[in-house]
Structure 1
């Protein structure tokens, strides 16, 4: 098929636009990585704008010297795995049930779910509920309050409606399969893309979660990684402010330098695991974001 002049111009504009977005998305990532291993004097003066200068791993060394980091990693990995499992255990069956036309009271249930997307009980009622359930200062405070997302339930329900043929389920019913057997042996094996997408969505949420820990946890042995990283940044900032009250200019400058390099190292430590895992889920994620866009 021969391309017209307008088609070629359109393609060129599209490619330029794509490259523009690639640059503005990639540059901050490269900058943070370079800043985390560069001498802070180059970063603060603006001499380091892309590639690292005077490479040093002092920031990472100071971050990983804290034993709390390893406790935080352990807890966050556990919360992410357990929380994502609970999320999927709630989201997938709920979405499948709502995708079936014969569900009694489907409209009412959907109305209740959608209502929670616009109105929230607020922090104080949530805290009182978690306290009355005996989950304060326990691992359950990190995973139960966020057991499901209405938006993710709706997306998963759409996937089941669009992707899973109704005739396949009817054939299973004719063969005597129960609803549970149909769901676990037929529907779930065909739902790898949406399971991967939901796992990614929920997993990223749990990995970055710190607010529940800040509100519901007081035992440092239960703190997620994000709270320990937050403490490191606060300690560095407070140390710098206290030293500024003194007269040792050289010591103040050194502490400010350390605080600057630790800041970027903390960003890499918190984001690196997700950046490593994402490429393995990318192909499923691309399928998931196209849910409902094409219907035969």
Structure 2
């Protein structure tokens, strides 16, 4: 006959027959030293989170869905819906064929791609070099240059002095006017600098002992270890160049050199029809192309490239920004 024995593992113990083991149900209790937001949410919390996230996704996706669907719709569907189309009907690519047929929209898209590519490469390279130099405590003029860089984050020359400088440099109606005035962002330089300062100095010191110079240390050691921060900075510069229209409005007088965002602004906000754009033309036989589908198609072309690039950089985004913010 087995005798009940006292088992350990819980306060007070539990009586159980000898030779058998019992497990007390594990109850997760909140630690006094752990904040509330570190705890796993309960059923109500999960439900509330799902509802909020669903609402946010719908608030973002529904307008984009409406714009894409309207750009693919015919005149009959647009007339039936009274404007923007929300229910799919007969779909057509006539609006995209029209704006990509060699008119001003196609030229503006090529201008935006070129400016974004060249500007992102130039700005990322300059920011990389500046951040590396400012991250070396013993570099020449380290503190004064850092102080000047910080001042530019709070004080600017203003629109008129900047315009006079661009004009004096002969950059009016030049593509460089879309790149050089915003080539370097102090915020992005500080992000890279903070990331570089977080790298163990023993690594760079060992490379220097082996005979490596600053250029080799930067491009062979520091840059490969900082891919997350560099990707985030490149994304910031790329989105900024792609979405910029104000510099083009100030410095570019030739319509043929307008970027896509300025053309989009003229179409959607001002309702201006530019020569060679095809906006407002209607295919009498099918009635497929009008001003509204073309406007929506231009909006899609302005948004889609960023949506395609962002997923490839998103995995570096949080790490790069948060690390730079903590170490700044």
TM-score category (smaller protein): 0.7 to 0.9
What is the SS of the residue equivalent to 2:153? Answer: helix
In the alignment, structure 2 segments of 5+ residues that lack a partner are 1-25, 30-38, 275-279
Q: How many angstroms does 1:122 deviate by?
A: 1.4
Partner of 1:209: 244
**Contact 1:35-1:261 at 8 Å conserved across structures:** yes
TM-score, structure 2 length as denominator? 0.74
| Alignment of structure 1 residues 138-149 onto 2, 5 Å | 138-149=174-185
TM-score, structure 1 length as denominator? 0.81
Q: How many angstroms does 1:227 deviate by?
A: 2.9
Q: Deviations over 1:125-162 (max 9, x none)?
A: 11110111122222211111111011111111122123
What is the SS of the residue equivalent to 2:294? Answer: helix
C-alpha distance in structure 2 between counterparts of 1:102 and 1:11, whole Å: 51
Q: Deviations over 1:237-281 (max 9, x none)?
A: 9xxxxx9xxxxxxx9xx9xx9233222222102112222222222
Partner of 1:278: 310
Q: How many angstroms does 1:294 deviate by?
A: 7.3
Partner of 1:93: 129
**Contact 1:196-1:285 at 8 Å conserved across structures:** yes
Partner of 1:200: 235
1:40 aligns with 2:78: yes
Taking a change above 3 Å as real, the CA distance of residues 170 and 207 of structure 1, as seen in their structure-2 partners, is same
Q: How many angstroms does 1:12 deviate by?
A: 3.6
In the alignment, structure 1 segments of 5+ residues that lack a partner are 238-242, 244-250
| Alignment of structure 1 residues 139-178 onto 2, 5 Å | 139-162=175-198, 164-178=199-213
Q: How many angstroms does 1:217 deviate by?
A: 1.8
What is the SS of the residue equivalent to 2:117? Answer: helix
Structure number with higher helix proportion: 1
Relative CO higher for 1 or 2, CA cutoff 8 Å, sep ≥ 6? 1
Q: How many angstroms does 1:105 deviate by?
A: 4.0
| Mean CA deviation greater in 175-184 or 12-21 | 12-21
What is the SS of the residue equivalent to 1:117? Answer: coil
C-alpha distance in structure 2 between counterparts of 1:191 and 1:262, whole Å: 42
Aligned residues: 278
Partner of 1:235: 272
Taking a change above 3 Å as real, the CA distance of residues 2 and 56 of structure 1, as seen in their structure-2 partners, is farther
Q: Which of the two has higher C-alpha Rg?
A: 2
1:109 aligns with 2:145: yes
C-alpha distance in structure 1 between counterparts of 2:252 and 2:236, whole Å: 24
**Coordinate RMSD, CA, aligned:** 3.1
Partner of 2:293: 261
